[in-house]
Chains A and B, each alone.
Chain A
Amino acid sequence: MLVVEDEADAREMMREIVEMGGCTATLAANGVEALQVLASLRPCLIVIDLVMPVMNGVTLIEELRRQPALAQIPFVVATSAPERAPAGAPVLTKPIDMKALWGWMQRTCRCTSAAPLLA
């Protein structure tokens, strides 16, 4: 999983939740960092915060959709303001509900390592 979140504590918490769900988390603090990661990594799911410095979530999603190599990677927008998410983008409402995140991981994980805690 790739977690794109500018707030360090929240980012770290997300990493732990992902790991508790049986997956590995790679972290990025903004859209630019995320694109750098994606140059060499194909995560099963990208969790994207909307409001971030340098490159925000909306721009990152536009980039993902624009680049054919990235367009197929599932992503979910983590936001407390779902109405601000780009049209058609799936939303994981903040505050993050652990079970909801694990649900997303379970649905998108290709390596089937996710979900032992969901049973």
Chain B
Amino acid sequence: MTSATNVIRFPSSPTADESTHAGAHRHIGREFLAQPAQPSHFVQFYEEEETLFEMVSEFFVPGLRAGDRLLVIATQAHRDGFMRRLGASGSDTAVKSGQLTLLDARETLSKFMVDGMPDPDRFRSVVAGLISSVKRGHPEACLRAYGEMVDLLWRDGHSDAAIRLEELWNDAGQEHSFALFCAYTVGNFYKEGNGSRFFDVCRNHTHVIPTESFTRAKTLEKEIAHRTELEEALRGALRKRAQVEEDLRECLRREQDARAEAEAAIQFRELFVGMLGHDLRNPLNTMLNTGRLLLMRNEVVPEGRGRVERLIASGVRMQRMIEQLLDLTRARLAGGIIVNRTFQDADPIVAKIVSETRIAHDGREVTYLRQGDCWASIDADRFEQIASNLIGNAITHGSADKPVRVMLSGGALAVQLSVQNSGEPIDAQLLPHIFDPFARGEQPKGRSDGLGLGLFIAERIAAAHGGGIDVSSSTDTGTIFEATIPKHERPHK
């Protein structure tokens, strides 16, 4: 027997779970029909004739291909329907060759019905003759038979005769091997008193193929269950998603709060530094100028002059740091460093810083070369800061025994201040960050005159002039800072 799970094996309840299988979208029983058990006697209940034609086709087409012998005992209308369905599968040829035998149901019935009931002897005789005829020349071939004489009897109101005929077919199955396909229109069982006999019909078959709507209902039930599961999963996913979204919103709120706090803290800190710078440098200036006045007026005893000079020198260093902090604040908070440009020669500014550097760093060689027309639209104080910071940086980081080379050159569109020193090149990793605030390289021993803001401020001043500063550093060429400032207008002659 086949182990088909998409038909209902009888006896069992037609609603048993084994009648369905996961993912069934087709009328159940198709697989069984393609390869029916031998012997088997199964029944199909149908609602629409087209469904019947389709199922019989499912039963016969594989049989035609397998060389099985086929027998149809049906009404003329149904025979026509089957042949229409089987047309493309070579049914005409099969009829001619004798593989397919077509008989009229009512005519066949008449051969063994006696007084409204099938006569067992006549039935056996008719069946034996039929099977012998159909299998002639092919005794070993399987036999697939379709019959609806029982359905005719039932329609005619002879349900007892129909049940009896089913029993006789079962008896015949003891003698002959065949797969017998019976069919009833399910409407038979909606008639009063016939409903209870439905199970008598089922009980007389090895397998039951339910109606298409039963199959659809089961499929629908499964679909509903499946969709309910999906819906629940979807609800779960939506709940999870809502939670994730809420978490995200919370994270965003926290991030925004943190950012606002950080921005407020930065703004406060920079305002604080700015205000502190302003408030600090005025009293410091008073201290420094008072010290200078003491020296100028010779109001200090000779042995005290050195101490006052030390006070002034330390005050000057402090003043420079405060100025750098103020510039940092301006550059980062107040929209950048402001420059008040006038058209002037940059040469005296650079020459002055070079001169001051030579005096302040006796023993260090500082060369200065000027080339071309160096007039440009510059803020003298700020340009002086660029020169001072770059040259001071070269003094601090360059080899003490090698010169610092300063060159100012004027081109058609810009003036360029180049400051070169020898010595250890700047670390390649530090180079891209050399103009960041507080980005200090390795500090030489000794006191520092700044906070690590000199290059940052110089670069910001150059940028405020519409220019910039480039840097290159290698063992061979040393470290070179090149500040380029656009001229903006031609000198008046």
- Chain B: residues with Cβ within 8 Å of the partner, total of 18
B293, A80: Cβ atoms closer than 8 Å: no
Chain A window 72-94, contacts with chain B (Cβ cutoff 8 Å), 1 for yes, 0 for no: 00000000111100000000011
The reply to whether A95 and B288 form a contact with Cβ atoms under 8 Å apart is: yes
**What CA separation (Å) do A83 and B338 show in the bound complex?**
8
Q: Which residues of B in the span 368-392 have a Cβ within 8 Å of any Cβ on A?
A: 381
Q: Which residue of B lies closest to A49 (CB)?
A: B282
Let me know if B297 and A10 touch, CB within 8 A: no
Evaluate contact between A17 and B282: CB separation under 8 angstroms.
no
How does the 8 Å CB contact mask read for A24-53 relative to B, with 1 for contact and 0 for none? 000000000000000000000000000000
Contact B289–A9 (Cβ < 8 Å) = no
Contact A82 B281, CB 8 Å, known A93-B381, A98-B292: no
Chain A residues with CB under 8 Å of B288's CB are: 95
Interface check B284, CB cutoff 8 A? yes
Docked CA distance A98–B289 (Å): 7
Within B266-295, the residues touching A (CB, 8 Å) are 278, 281-286, 288-290, 292-293
Question: Main SS of the interface on chain A?
Answer: helix
- Is B418 in contact with chain A by the CB < 8 A criterion? no
Q: Is the CB of B285 within 8 A of A95?
A: yes
B319 contacts A by Cβ under 8 Å = yes
In the complex, A70 has a CB within 8 A of chain B: no
Chain B: which residue is nearest A91 at the CB level? B340
Chain A: CB-nearest residue to B274: A81
List B contacts of A96 (CB < 8 A): 285, 289
Complex CA gap A42/B381 in Å reads: 32
* Interface assignment of B296: CB less than 8 Å from any CB of chain A: yes
Which A residues are in CB contact (< 8 Å) with B283? 7, 9-10
| A13 CB within 8 Å of chain B | yes
Does A55 sit within 8 A of B, measured CB to CB?
no
Interface pair A95/B293, CB less than 8 Å apart: no
B340 with A82: CB separation less than 8 A: yes
Determine whether the beta carbon of B293 is less than 8 Å from that of A10.
Answer: no
Is A16 an interface residue, CB under 8 A from the partner?
A: yes
* Contact (Cβ within 8 A) B381 A13: no
A81 to B293, CA, bound (A): 25
Task: Provide the residues of chain B in CB contact with A64, threshold 8 Å.
Answer: none
Chain A residues near B292: list those with CB within 8 A: 98
Which of B284, B285, B297, B381: most chain A CB closer than 10 A? B285
What separation, in Å, do the CA atoms of A10 and B193 have in the docked complex?
124
Given A20-B297, A93-B381, also A80-B290 (CB < 8 A): no
B103 to chain A, nearest CB (A): 115
Interface size on A, residues (CB 8 A): 17
Given contacts A16-B293, A83-B338, contact A9 B286 (CB under 8 A): yes
Q: Which residues of B contact A82 (CB under 8 A)?
A: 340
Instruction: Name the residue among A7, A13, A94 with the largest chain B CB count within 10 angstroms.
Output: A13
Asked if B340 contacts A95 (CB within 8 A), the reply is: no
In the bound assembly, the distance between CA atoms of A7 and B286 in angstroms comes to 10
Q: Which of A7, A17, A117 contacts B289 (CB 8 A)?
A: A17
Contact check: which of A7, A16, A95 meets B290 at CB < 8 Å? A16
Q: Are B286 and A10 in contact (CB under 8 A)?
A: yes
**Residues 377-415 of chain B, each 1 if its beta carbon lies under 8 Å from chain A, else 0:** 000010000000000000000000000000000000000
Knowing A13-B289, A16-B290, A93-B381, the reply to whether A80 touches B297 (Cβ < 8 A) is no
A13 neighbours in B (Cβ, 8 Å): 285-286, 289-290, 293
- Which residue of the partner chain, among A7, A95, A98, A117, contacts B284 with CB atoms under 8 Å? A95
Closest residue of A by beta carbon distance from B315: A95
In angstroms, Cα B293 to Cα A16, docked, is 8
CA–CA, A95 and B296, complex, Å: 19
Chain A residue nearest to B334 in the complex (CB)? A83
Shortest CB–CB separation between residue A64 and chain B, in angstroms?
A: 23
Between A17, A80, A82, A93, the greatest number of chain B beta carbons within 10 A of the residue's beta carbon is seen for A80
- Which A residues lie at the B interface, using CB under 8 A? 7, 9-10, 13, 16-17, 20, 80-83, 93-96, 98, 117
A-B contact pairs, 11 of them (CB 8 A): A7-B282, A9-B286, A10-B283, A16-B289, A16-B293, A20-B297, A80-B278, A80-B282, A95-B281, A95-B288, A95-B319
The 9 nearest A-B residue pairs measured at CB: A95-B285, A13-B286, A9-B286, A10-B286, A13-B289, A16-B293, A83-B338, A95-B281, A80-B278
Further contacts, 20 of them, CB under 8 A, given A16-B289, A80-B278, A98-B289: A7-B283, A7-B286, A9-B283, A10-B283, A10-B285, A10-B286, A13-B290, A16-B290, A20-B297, A80-B282, A81-B278, A83-B338, A93-B381, A94-B281, A94-B282, A94-B285, A95-B284, A95-B288, A96-B285, A96-B289
